[in-house]
Amino acid sequence: MHSSDLLAVVVRDRRRVADAIDEFTLTRPGGDPLPEWEAGAHVDLLLGDGIVRQYSLCSDPADATHYRIAVLREEHGRGGSVRAHDTLRIGTEVSIRPPRNHFPLVRALEYVLIAGGIGITPVLALAAAAHRSGRPWRLIYTGRDESAMAYTAELRERYGDAPVIHYSRRGGRLDLAAALADSAPGTAVYACGPHGLIEAAEHACAPLAAVDVFAERFVARDRSASAAGPFEVSLALSGLTLTVPPTRSILAVAEDHGVVAPASCREGTCGTCETGVVSGEIDHRDSILSAEERAEGESMMICVSRCAGSRLVLEL
């Protein structure tokens, strides 16, 4: 993405919303409206020194005056959250990329929203959208205890006793199979949080008729069992034909040959490197595309996904 696509914003407010979680309110320096977005969207936050991280928007999509993000400080993470906590003060100017959405609220007869820990951030906006839709919906929010869970008071203020808030330290592990067993056909289940929570939601819904699960992962899927052989990739726009070995990604090999491609997470969780596919069979390894999108075969995440055959042709 070119620098002209970046948005300059300023930190207008910062507050602690749970243990190690700070909320940042971002506005345009001159007060102009920010680009529109839909529930489930995220922004890329450029933190300097090449550090780019994705944070879900948890404000109200109907309010274009500001964006709101919440960041969990992870001392042993990749460094982005620590950089955000250490450098983003009230008045700090920072650049973001406009909102993108890989987790939109689809049309459904009813909704079940499941959040674990910091996974509440996109779910907060999804809850507002589900509530406005007029369809039946419910929210299940689980975490260690109230001190570690952001926005519990806000949820109660907005929706009363409707959200089910579960404290695992007091009540043990949440039984999602029991919680989802009565989901009716036509239900859309949204899950965001730790890998185990998402896996539990997917397993609980697998035997249910016409119940679809949509997940947003902060950690990439396990790809250890996937075979990885060499293959050829032709870059239609660059005029290059490259060989991708088993130990390298398409993105890395393209960069080695001077091709500039947007990228951020490099593990298939953010969608920044999504690239159009002209031809070839894709071995999808990302955590973003739905089963339908994968079947269409129109794009792939070149930081992790590979060729299932011998050759790919990409719009790159």
| Tens-place pLDDT, residues 234-245 | 998 999 999 999
For 5, phi and psi rounded to 5 degrees? Answer: -85, -5
Per-residue pLDDT band for 293 (boundaries 50, 70, 90) equals confident
Is residue 254 over pLDDT 60? yes
Question: Is the residue at 69 inside a domain?
Answer: yes
- 115 and 91 co-located in one domain: no
- 152 and 129 co-located in one domain: yes
Question: Which is nearest to 116 in space by CA: 170, 164, 61?
Answer: 164
Would you state the pLDDT for residue 68? 98
Q: How far apart are CA 228 and CA 249, in angstroms?
A: 10
- 83 and 117 co-located in one domain: no
- 90 and 114 co-located in one domain: no
Residues whose CB falls within 8 Å of the CB of residue 260, separated by 6 or more in sequence, listed in order: none
DSSP 3-state of 116:
strand
Per-residue model confidence as pLDDT tens digits over 176-222: 999 999 999 999 999 999 888 999 999 999 999 999 999 987 765 55
- Scan for tokens 């959040």, then name that residue: 115
Is residue 110 over pLDDT 90? yes
* Residue 16: CATH number of its domain: 2.40.30.10
Q: Which of residues 159, 187, 216 is at a domain's end?
A: 216
Percentage of the chain beyond pLDDT 70 is 95
* Residue 120: CATH number of its domain: 3.40.50.80
- 257 and 298 co-located in one domain: yes
Residue span of the structural domain in which 18 resides? 7-100
- 261 and 185 co-located in one domain: no
Question: Which is nearest to 58 in space by CA: 163, 176, 155?
Answer: 155
Question: Is the residue at 245 inside a domain?
Answer: yes
Question: Is the residue at 32 inside a domain?
Answer: yes
Per-residue pLDDT band for 269 (boundaries 50, 70, 90) equals confident
How many domains does the chain contain in total?
3
- Scan for tokens 């290059």, then name that residue: 240
Is residue 225 over pLDDT 50? no
- 118 and 23 co-located in one domain: no
Q: Is the dihedral of CA 158, 214, 296, 303 positive or negative?
A: positive
DSSP 3-state of 200:
helix
